[in-house]
Structure 1
Amino acid sequence: MRKLLSPTFTSGKIKIMFKLICKCADNFANFLANDSGNIGKTYDMKNVLSRYANDVVATCAFGISVDSFKHPNNDFLLLAKEAANFTSNPIKLLVNKNFPLLGRLLGLKIFSSKMKSFFKEIIADTVKTRDEQKIIRPDMIHLMMEKRDNDHGLTMDIDEMTAQAFVFLVAGFDSTSSAMCFLTHEVGINFDVQNKLRAEIDDILAQTNGKPTYEAISQMEYLDAVINETLRLYPLGGFLDRICVKEFELPPATPDGKPITLKPGDSIWFPHYALHRDPKYYSQPDKFDPDRFLNGEVDNSVYMPFGIGPRMCIANRFALIKLKIMLFYLLWRCDLEPDTKTSIPMVLSKKSFLMNPEGGFWLKLRARKSEAAIPFLSNESVCED
């Protein structure tokens, strides 16, 4: 299945979905600029960024247009939040992961029947309509329909399409919105970074006549560095896991220790949070310093926010472009600054599998006063294919 779906997330396919993401970012940034005004307003960034992430997943994976800023209580958003909260009951999760037969016998469901029916119905209706009316839309549904219509030796029916789109929802909604929260937090409290990043954004706007292209945003070096540094400091999970397939001997962890032999079938956890903050690999590891990604300091073998090797995150390119477009549009339209509620320094909560700060993410946003923001006053699309 991974082999079948990997082409969905190539640069070429993501470029096709670029305009859909831009429209969501345009809507998101317009809302915040108009809502905050010149005086400014403090926001729960998890709330607003979850809405943006939801709209992107809805349009790119499920083929429907959802405006979570105009309709903050829409069914898609509410069920997406419920789906993303699947780790809230660790007992159900661990039983289903390690003892699936027991989980089925005990009826320990991670997702409700209502949720399954809702998302399956969306996929089924969308596919039926597109088949009947020959509709082509640049999203994940269309790409899966193309796979369905070709003989790859794998079944791609409605159940499989729904399952893949649902995995995309769970992975692309909560974890990506959390990454965006850490990203805006660091940009909001580091004014030198924000000013340097905005200068790069204004330069791209001047080059593209106010209509940023996929190529232009993809090639922004400092934007890349800011996002990479955020993911270094805040990889969303505390660890990566892999299954050993070949016997291997690990060297002693300490000078007086003994080597450890891994056997096929052993489950291995990699603490990439610890690796990313190890002074052996990163100078001043707790400092937010995007320049380390511009000066050749980083060893890619110890940088793995999306995993590493052939089983790394299948949608890492998609996640990165979603983050880039969000920050591009937000800084194009708004100024970010800390509020009294902003946690400085940030203290991470110990109550979740994923990384979240105690007290949440809070920033003050203010509509930006500059000529660069003028194109947003138009209702026309502000991105190019």
Structure 2
Amino acid sequence: MSSDYSLHGLVWLASLLAAFLTIILALYSLCPHLIRQMVLWRIPGPPCQSFLTGNFLQMFDAVSGFEFRKHVWKNYGTVSRFHGPLWDQILLISDPVALTSILIKQQETFEQHEWFTELFRHAVGPGLLSSTGALHRRQRKLLNPIFSPSRIRSMVPLLHKITDQVNRVFRDALRSQITDGPMELDIVEWFGRLVLEMIAQGGLGHSFDDFTYGADKNEFNIAIKEFMLVMSRLNLFLPIFLLVTHWPSKLLRSIAVCLPWADLHHFLGIVDTMDRCTVRLFQSKKALLAQGDAELTQLVSGGQDIISVLMTTDTDAGETEMQDDEIMAQMLTLLAAATETTSNSIARLVHVLSQHQDAQDELRREVNAAVAVSGGELGYEQLTELPYLDAICRETLRLYPPASFVSRICRADTTIPLSHPIPIDYTPHSSLFVPRGTTIILDILGINCSQDIWGADADSWRPERWLSPLPESVAGARIPGVYSNMLTFLGGPRSCIGFKLSELEMKVVLSQLIRSFRFLPSKTEIVWRLGPVTTPSVKGSLATSSLPVVLERI
């Protein structure tokens, strides 16, 4: 009996010693980083909430994170500091001059955070979101012509055709009711299916969905829709991934399978499904290509989808073609990244219009008048020339960007300029020293809603602001974004390559649905959840995306 107690004591002592040594090693590795960051403690910021997590949980809380960031803007300005886990100091920046330096002038110093690129590399392969440096520049150069204005313009009939399928589903659902009146529908599900099909046909040349009313049974559809949602639930723990990020994928997977973590297992299943379906599609397309270019016309896109063009276009002299694994990674990147952002943006547009009946009526009048002149569905030129439709899209993307922030990590000691001096030790500083290893949160929402730039009503949804000249402060701010003086689609070499296609998809969907239905608000309370992509949920059910809206036939 005494020997059992002795053994138990030795095990307990060994566990205590192992824990002590782990803490010592962690502190030893953290100390140089924390010492470098001592210069950041002088920057204004909120007080630390917790020794272990700092302000991290406040800043990225799914429900209250937006309000906490607004509190930080109002009290600490466009450049502030908050506490990350274990005393790590993180910068929150919405200063336009600093953002220009980070996104454009010093882009190679401020790269995407390693955990993000490595996670995407393990999940989808060497695609545009997971590549860096020379590889990213080469992929971007090869993909840029595929997203040219002329190619995007040619996709308008396809976008109308797919939207019309969903339009008919909505009309049939309303007719099937016992009473011919308004009907509540979960639009986020349908817009997810709609945008995924647009990207599937326009991007891959393949159809996944026949839009049968009811539950979506396609495993690829389900996996793509759940990819970003499940990743957002893992988001707070992903920095741990940095500790093992360069281990082989097979070893990482073996470890992950053994961990008692349901969301991680779910994420692995999603990745497996996406990979299996993508390989099958790619091999099918490659087989058609081997039979000759004419065989590609069997695809729903007639061989003019993004991936078919990428596989059949000769590269410039000296430019290396994409390898098979790169092309499959681009397929997955297109589906995973573009579906969630665009579908949630369209859902937000409809949700906002349901709350602003006057704006909805004005948009309907404009679209109906344009259709009466054109005699049919609106083409590219007509869609881009409707001022109120354009104003509604711009204002919604300004006030409600699908991704409200992105992160960067500083790879080397550097200094960034500021548009307005910040107080450090009661002395104004017009530049900021950033030590290597510092994480920076680029606050897209903060600069899009800055009252100094957009005026006192910057927090208000007012599409009319786009129908007259914008304040001089907007142009004067020189926001480094690729889209309409805002940072919604970022700027610089890592700006959203498909933002014009995304905007066009929004306009096509709105121009059709606004003629068929009136959008009315549901009595259900909706919460827009903070994450890598902002998503809607019914209050009390944050684990799933949902946005009920009442539709009434016109």
For the aligned pair, the TM-score class normalised by the smaller chain equals 0.7 to 0.9
- Residue of 118, 136, 154 corresponding to 1:16: 154
Deviation at 1:191, TM superposition (A): 0.8
Map of 1:372 onto structure 2: none
**Does 2:267 correspond to 1:88?**
no
Map of 2:10 onto structure 1: none
Task: Write out per-residue CA displacement over residues 30-68 of structure 1, whole angstroms, 9 at most, x where no aligned residue.
Answer: 111221244121011211111111111111122112335
Map of 2:197 onto structure 1: 55
The one-letter amino acid of 1:249's match is: I
Map of 1:364 onto structure 2: 550
**Farther off after superposition, 217-226 or 78-87:** 78-87
Q: TM-score, normalised by structure 1?
A: 0.85
Deviation at 1:315, TM superposition (A): 0.7
Quick check: 1:4–1:147 contact (8 Å CA) kept in 2?
no
Query: Partners in 1 of 2:219 and 2:528 — Cα distance?
Result: 30
Query: Partners in 2 of 1:121 and 1:61 — Cα distance?
Result: 16
Superposition map of 1:232-243 within 5 A: 232-242=398-408
Helix, strand or coil for the counterpart of 1:261?
A: strand
**Does 2:421 correspond to 1:249?**
no
The one-letter amino acid of 1:332's match is: R
**Farther off after superposition, 28-37 or 103-112:** 103-112
The one-letter amino acid of 2:346's match is: M
The one-letter amino acid of 1:349's match is: R
Deviation at 1:91, TM superposition (A): 6.2
Map of 1:218 onto structure 2: 384
Query: Partners in 2 of 1:140 and 1:3 — Cα distance?
Result: 14
Task: Write out per-residue CA displacement over residues 239-296 of structure 1, whole angstroms, 9 at most, x where no aligned residue.
Answer: 1334668933344434835542136775532111122222222231222101112222
Q: 1:10 to 1:184 in 2, by over 3 A?
A: same
Deviation at 1:195, TM superposition (A): 0.9
Map of 1:382 onto structure 2: none
- Residue of 415, 436, 459 corresponding to 1:286: 459
Q: Which has the larger radius of gyration?
A: 2
**Farther off after superposition, 3-12 or 148-157:** 148-157
Task: Write out per-residue CA displacement over residues 9-35 of structure 1, whole angstroms, 9 at most, x where no aligned residue.
Answer: 111111122222111111111111221
Quick check: 1:34–1:367 contact (8 Å CA) kept in 2?
no
Map of 1:353 onto structure 2: 532
Query: Partners in 1 of 2:510 and 2:242 — Cα distance?
Result: 36
Query: Partners in 1 of 2:350 and 2:201 — Cα distance?
Result: 23
Q: 1:160 to 1:222 in 2, by over 3 A?
A: same
Quick check: 1:32–1:367 contact (8 Å CA) kept in 2?
no
Helix, strand or coil for the counterpart of 2:552?
A: strand
Helix, strand or coil for the counterpart of 2:549?
A: strand
Query: Partners in 2 of 1:202 and 1:195 — Cα distance?
Result: 11
Query: Partners in 2 of 1:21 and 1:316 — Cα distance?
Result: 15
**Does 2:280 correspond to 1:115?**
no
Quick check: 2:204–2:308 contact (8 Å CA) kept in 1?
no
Helix, strand or coil for the counterpart of 1:336?
A: strand
The one-letter amino acid of 2:402's match is: L
Query: Partners in 2 of 1:347 and 1:254 — Cα distance?
Result: 36
Q: Which runs of 5+ in 1 are unaligned?
A: 369-385
Q: 1:215 to 1:162 in 2, by over 3 A?
A: same
Superposition map of 1:1-385 within 5 A: 1-37=139-175, 38-70=180-212, 72-85=216-229, 86-90=231-235, 93-96=238-241, 99-102=244-247, 104=249, 105-107=251-253, 108=256, 111=268, 112-133=271-292, 134=294, 135-136=296-297, 137-147=303-313, 153-242=319-408, 247-251=414-418, 252-254=421-423, 256=426, 259=429, 260-262=432-434, 267-282=439-454, 283-297=456-470, 299=474, 301=479, 303-341=486-524, 343=525, 347-350=527-530, 352-359=531-538, 360-368=546-554
Task: Write out per-residue CA displacement over residues 337-384 of structure 1, whole angstroms, 9 at most, x where no aligned residue.
Answer: 11212x4xx64335x33323451422101222xxxxxxxxxxxxxxxx
Quick check: 2:228–2:533 contact (8 Å CA) kept in 1?
no
Q: 1:308 to 1:150 in 2, by over 3 A?
A: closer
Quick check: 1:148–1:156 contact (8 Å CA) kept in 2?
no
The one-letter amino acid of 2:500's match is: R
Structure with the higher fraction of residues in strand conformation = 2
Query: Partners in 2 of 1:59 and 1:217 — Cα distance?
Result: 21
Query: Partners in 1 of 2:190 and 2:466 — Cα distance?
Result: 29
Deviation at 1:87, TM superposition (A): 3.0
Query: Partners in 2 of 1:152 and 1:347 — Cα distance?
Result: 51
Quick check: 2:174–2:183 contact (8 Å CA) kept in 1?
yes
Quick check: 1:87–1:93 contact (8 Å CA) kept in 2?
no
Query: Partners in 2 of 1:257 and 1:20 — Cα distance?
Result: 58
Quick check: 1:68–1:77 contact (8 Å CA) kept in 2?
no
**Farther off after superposition, 324-333 or 88-97:** 88-97
Helix, strand or coil for the counterpart of 1:241?
A: strand
Identical aligned residues as a percent: 23
**Farther off after superposition, 284-293 or 358-367:** 358-367
Helix, strand or coil for the counterpart of 1:89?
A: helix
Q: 1:68 to 1:77 in 2, by over 3 A?
A: farther
Map of 2:33 onto structure 1: none
Query: Partners in 2 of 1:152 and 1:294 — Cα distance?
Result: 47
- Structure 1 vs Structure 2 CA RMSD: 2.6
Helix, strand or coil for the counterpart of 2:185?
A: strand
Quick check: 1:179–1:231 contact (8 Å CA) kept in 2?
yes
